[in-house]
Structures are given as structure tokens and as C-alpha cells.
């Protein structure tokens, strides 16, 4: 199977390319190879490679910056996605769009199901939801995969930030009033690999299983890394940011179960696997 991966130099994209390449012919394109906001470039690359599946990992993910740079966020997350879907349609390709928990407002108390009403509050979430709407409107062979709290061996993420901070201080404050599900990129990639080989189209919620707060996640990181540091819980209000953060972004994996897929492993097991590989390469 020929698979085109956008955002191939990003945190998730790198793992997708590495894993998929073991079984399929993969063309990974980073932003230097493909400007997704350029419709002609998208068409040219897709027609040239003739993929059977496009896994669209590329996105504008600077959540706070998006509040001041709305046009760029929409150009990438909405219009860029439209350009790729249109190109996919010309060659009859399946389309897999990586989305986010930020399409929900985070005011809920029960895990969000795939077809619950969305209500993004910030520009990032709104632009990603716009991308979802365009995928649903334009493609008849789509997977929309929403994920959350992503971390991996490539790029910057919360786990690496915590480990870096712990190297030069002996205490840390981490918010305890935001709850979600951490997701190891390699586990998400394994699910995507299984998903794209089917025609079980629709919306999926895919994160590692179980939930925690950022505070609990930080404690687990230091525990797995054998790092001794004092971690204090604090509130979101103590660390104001330009973009609103969902207080509750736990997502129900109803579609994974209903379609007969195996759920992603527990988040703590994913973290253990990450730490083992991280220690081996650092």
C-alpha cells in the first residue's frame, strides 16, 4: 500500500513514517517539501505519488500563538486540510485526519463520545474543527482521529519539558485541575496503521487508556525516571495563558470498541515504554 504522510518531520509524523515503512511504501513530506496551504503543490504531490491513503499529521499546533495568528491557524488547519482532501479525491485515496481533544470545550464531567456536539473555545480548536468539517463534507473515505496530550521521542512535549526542568531545580508546580489522557506517539501510530487498512470510516477517539491530571502525569514521569523532585499541585488560574485549556478532555473510545479494534494500552504503560527508549537514546 502507498501511504503519503504530511507533517512527516513532526512529533507524530516521524513515528508514523518509521512504523508504516516497515510494511508499506511511504512518502513522508515535511513543511519544507510540501506547503499544504498551496493547493497546486498538494495536487502535484498526490498525483505524482498516487497514494492509496493520506495520513494528515501536519497542523498548526501553537495553541497560544494561534490566538494572535488566527489567519495562519485557519490557513493551515482548515484550508490546508481542504487542499489535501481535494487532492485525495482526484486519485481515490482514503484520508486520515489527525484531530484533537480541543474541539470540545472541556466543561464536561463524562468522557466525550465521538459524535457528541463539539464546542471549541480557542482559535486552535476552532481551526481544527473547521478541518474536520471540511473532511466530512468533501471526502467519502475518511477517518478523523482525535487524540490528546501527545508526547514521543521526537520534538518538544510535556514529558521532555518536565525532565528538563527537573535537571535544574528541586521543586515544581504543576496544574492539577486539568484532566485528560496522555498519548504516546508510538501507540497512536500502531492504531493508525491498523485503522487505515480497513474501510471502517468515521470519527475515532484514540489516546492511551485511563486518565490523570497534569500534576499526576508529572509525578508519574519523575517516578518512572527515578528523579527526586518536589511537585506541588496548583490551579490553572495560577498560570494564565493566552488560549483557554480544557479542564476535562477525557475522550470515550466508543468507536474503537464498536468497530472491533483493540484499545490503546494504559497511559502509564505507554509512559514506561517511552522512558525506556528515551533513556537508551539520551
pLDDT of 222 higher than 90: yes
Indicate the DSSP class of residue 54. E
pLDDT of 118 reads: 97
Burial of 181 (0-12, 13-18, 19+ CB in 10 A): buried
Q: Cell numbers at residue 64, please?
A: 497560544
Alpha helices, DSSP H, located in the chain:
11-20, 39-49, 63-66, 70-74, 81-91, 123-138, 158-166, 185-195, 214-224, 254-258, 267-281
Indicate the DSSP class of residue 207. -
pLDDT band for 60, please (50, 70, 90 cuts).
very high
Q: Which of 122, 147, 140 is nearest to 246 (CA)?
A: 122
* CA distance linking residue 224 with residue 177, whole number of Å: 22
Query: What torsion do the CA atoms of 62, 234, 119, 128 make, to the nearest 10 degrees?
Result: 20
- Quick one: average pLDDT of 185-199? 98
pLDDT band for 122, please (50, 70, 90 cuts).
very high
pLDDT of 239 reads: 85
CB of 114 closer than 8 Å to CB of 204? yes
Q: Which of 274, 65, 27 is nearest to 155 (CA)?
A: 274
Active-site residue identified among 60, 97, 112, 124: 124
Q: Is 124 a catalytic residue?
A: yes
Q: What are phi and psi of 68, to 5 degrees?
A: -100, -10
pLDDT of 77 higher than 90: yes
pLDDT of 282 reads: 80
List, as one string, the DSSP characters of 133-188.
HHHHHH-SSEEEEEE-SEE-SSS--HHHHHHHHHTS-SEEEEE-S-EE--EEHHHH
What's this model's pTM, rounded to 2 decimal places?
0.97
CB of 197 closer than 8 Å to CB of 164? no
Domains and their CATH numbers in the chain:
2-157+181-210+249-265 (3.40.50.720)
Other C-beta atoms closer than 10 Å to the C-beta of 257 total 11
Amino acid at each position: 500500500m502507498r501511504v503519503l504522510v504530511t507533517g512527516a518531520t513532526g512529533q507524530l509524523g516521524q513515528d508514523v513514517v518509521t512504523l508504516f515503512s516497515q510494511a508499506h511504501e511511504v512518502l513522508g513530506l515535511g513543511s519544507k517539501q510540501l506547503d499544504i496551504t498551496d493547493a497546486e503543490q498538494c495536487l502535484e504531490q498526490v498525483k505524482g505519488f498516487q497514494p492509496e491513503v493520506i495520513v494528515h499529521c501536519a497542523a498548526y499546533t501553537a495553541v497560544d500563538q494561534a490566538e494572535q495568528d488566527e489567519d495562519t491557524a485557519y490557513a493551515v488547519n482548515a484550508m490546508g486540510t481542504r487542499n489535501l482532501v481535494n487532492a485525495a479525491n482526484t486519485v481515490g485515496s482514503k484520508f486520515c485526519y489527525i484531530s484533537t481533544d480541543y474541539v470540545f470545550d472541556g466543561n464536561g464531567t463524562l468522557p466525550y463520545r465521538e459524535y457528541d456536539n463539539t464546542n471549541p473555545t480557542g482559535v486552535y480548536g476552532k481551526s481544527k474543527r473547521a478541518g474536520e468539517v471540511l473532511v466530512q463534507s468533501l471526502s467519502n473515505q475518511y477517518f478523523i482521529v482525535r487524540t490528546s496530550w501527545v508526547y514521543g521521542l521526537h520534538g518538544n512535549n510535556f514529558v521532555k519539558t518536565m525532565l528538563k526542568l527537573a535537571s535544574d531545580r528541586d521543586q515544581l508546580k504543576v496544574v492539577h485541575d486539568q484532566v485528560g489522557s496522555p498519548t504516546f506517539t508510538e501507540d497512536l501510530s500502531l492504531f493508525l496503521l491498523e485503522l487505515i487498512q480497513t474501510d471502517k470510516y468515521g470519527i475515532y477517539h484514540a489516546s492511551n487508556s485511563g486518565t490523570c491530571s497534569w500534576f499526576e502525569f508529572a509525578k508519574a514521569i519523575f517516578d518512572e525516571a527515578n528523579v527526586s523532585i518536589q511537585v506541588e499541585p496548583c490551579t490553572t488560574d495560577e498560570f494564565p495563558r493566552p488560549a483557554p485549556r480544557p479542564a476535562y478532555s477525557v475522550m470515550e473510545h466508543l468507536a474503537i470498541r464498536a468497530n472491533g479494534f483493540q484499545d490503546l494500552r494504559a497511559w502509564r504503560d505507554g509512559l514506561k515504554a517511552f522512558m525506556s527508549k528515551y533513556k537508551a537514546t539520551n
